[in-house]
């Protein structure tokens, strides 16, 4: 086991990273002509998304061929065009007779204040991430969608810490695998649910990460729309229908709630996708429970693997 999203057979992950502009994107592809059954649950009040409505429980189209997590705020949604182009060139997509249409859903996070605000993931970057997607070990931390990610912004960016991309998986009985990937750019602080230790958050006078909830009353004027988000993907080799995948996405938000404090705020755009890429028969609740476990571990790993950039320190810098 690799302890990442690629432990689910048929799931591929690729990054594109702009180290100068400090932004990037992460692509998850599903091997095979029919893609995966994908559901979504949007909990944050300030999301930026593309093609998520069709992932609802009554969506008529069953398969999804790729997912994009990207920086660049709303500008970053343009990167999905490159993912679509890459898949079309490979003959992947929904067959409508006259063409194959790759179905790619996307969600964005806000990183414009970390690097160059004019540097945003575009179609070329989306193509690069998709073309590099593979099954196996992939980089985590300040890479891809996590390049410009930050957390703990209640006292402003001058007191924030570095977020990033993380992933984890669980190998259960009878061959069941449930895995998660998270791009962590939260308004709140990140804690390890196993120890209740605050790992990354608003830095206090002594440089240590503090509790966002206690600091919130004195900093309400700093709350600004849409500048924070945690994006997640849960994948499994269990067989799920569209409504079941939506339920797993809903349950996976428990992992966000355990690791990010506070979560689902008015200024966060939290989104979780859940993908079924296999045929193992198992109860939906089992997948959901372990999806939440994998998600909380992925979030913790995202900040532990991050590196300090643009004057924003990481966990390793203040530990």
Mean pLDDT lowest among 150-154, 178-182, 295-299: 150-154
* Residue 225 in this model has a pLDDT that exceeds 60: no
Q: How many domains does the chain have?
A: 1
* Residue 264 in this model has a pLDDT that exceeds 90: yes
> Average pLDDT for residues 37-54, to the nearest whole number?
95
Q: Are 210 and 204 in contact (CB under 8 A)?
A: yes
For residue 166 the two structure tokens come to 């993380």
98, burial (CB in 10 Å: exposed 0-12, middle 13-18, buried 19+): exposed
What percentage of the chain exceeds 90 in pLDDT?
A: 84
Q: What is the pLDDT of residues 206-223, one digit of tens each?
A: 889 988 887 777 665 555
The more confident residue out of 156 and 247 is 247
Q: What is the pLDDT of residues 82-106, one digit of tens each?
A: 999 999 999 999 999 999 999 999 9
Looking at the DSSP bridge assignments, the partners of residue 168 are: 180
Q: pTM of the entire structure?
A: 0.96
* Residue 72 in this model has a pLDDT that exceeds 90: yes
Write the DSSP symbol of residue 195: T
Average pLDDT score, the chain: 94
Torsion angles phi and psi, residue 23, rounded to 5: -155, 175
For residue 84, what are the domain limits? 5-318
CATH code, 85: 3.60.70.12
168/286 Cα distance (integer angstroms): 17
Q: What is the pLDDT of residues 109-149, one digit of tens each?
A: 999 999 999 999 999 999 999 999 999 999 999 999 999 99
Q: How confident is the model at residue 59 (pLDDT cuts 50, 70, 90)?
A: confident
* Residue 226 in this model has a pLDDT that exceeds 60: no
Distances (CA, A) of 88 to 12, 102, 106, 125, 195: 17, 6, 17, 16, 46
Half-sphere CA count of 312, side-chain side, radius 13 A: 31
Q: What is the pLDDT of residues 22-41, one digit of tens each?
A: 999 999 999 978 899 999 99
């Amino acid at each position: 086991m690799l302890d990442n999203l690629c432990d689910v057979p048929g799931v591929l992950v690729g990054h594109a990273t702009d180290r100068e502009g400090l932004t990037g994107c992460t692509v998850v592809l599903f091997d095979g002509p029919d893609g995966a059954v994908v559901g979504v649950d949007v909990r944050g009040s300030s999301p930026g998304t593309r093609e998520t409505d069709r992932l609802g429980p009554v969506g008529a189209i069953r398969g999804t061929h790729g997912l994009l997590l990207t920086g660049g705020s709303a500008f970053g949604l343009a990167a999905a065009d490159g993912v679509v182009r890459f898949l079309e060139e490979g003959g992947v997509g929904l067959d409508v007779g006259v063409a194959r249409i790759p179905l790619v859903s996307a969600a964005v996070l806000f990183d414009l204040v970390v690097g160059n605000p004019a540097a945003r993931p575009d179609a070329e970057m989306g193509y690069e991430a998709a073309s590099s997607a593979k099954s196996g070990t992939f980089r985590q931390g300040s890479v891809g969608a996590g390049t410009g990610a930050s957390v703990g912004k209640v006292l402003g960016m001058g007191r924030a810490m570095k977020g990033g991309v993380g992933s984890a998986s669980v190998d259960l009985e009878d061959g069941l695998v449930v895995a998660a990937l998270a791009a962590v750019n939260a308004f709140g602080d990140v804690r390890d649910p196993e120890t209740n230790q605050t790992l990354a958050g608003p830095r206090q006078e002594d440089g240590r990460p503090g509790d966002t909830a206690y600091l919130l009353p004195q900093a309400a004027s700093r709350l600004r729309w849409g500048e924070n988000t945690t994006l997640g993907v849960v994948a499994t080799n269990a067989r799920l229908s569209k409504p079941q995948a939506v339920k797993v996405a809903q349950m996976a938000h428990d992992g966000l709630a355990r690791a990010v404090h506070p979560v689902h705020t008015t200024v966060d755009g939290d989104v979780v996708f859940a993908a079924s890429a296999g045929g193992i028969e198992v109860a939906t609740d089992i997948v959901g429970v372990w999806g939440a476990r994998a998600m909380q571990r992925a979030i913790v790993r995202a900040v532990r693997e991050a590196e300090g950039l643009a004057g924003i320190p990481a966990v390793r810098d203040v530990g």
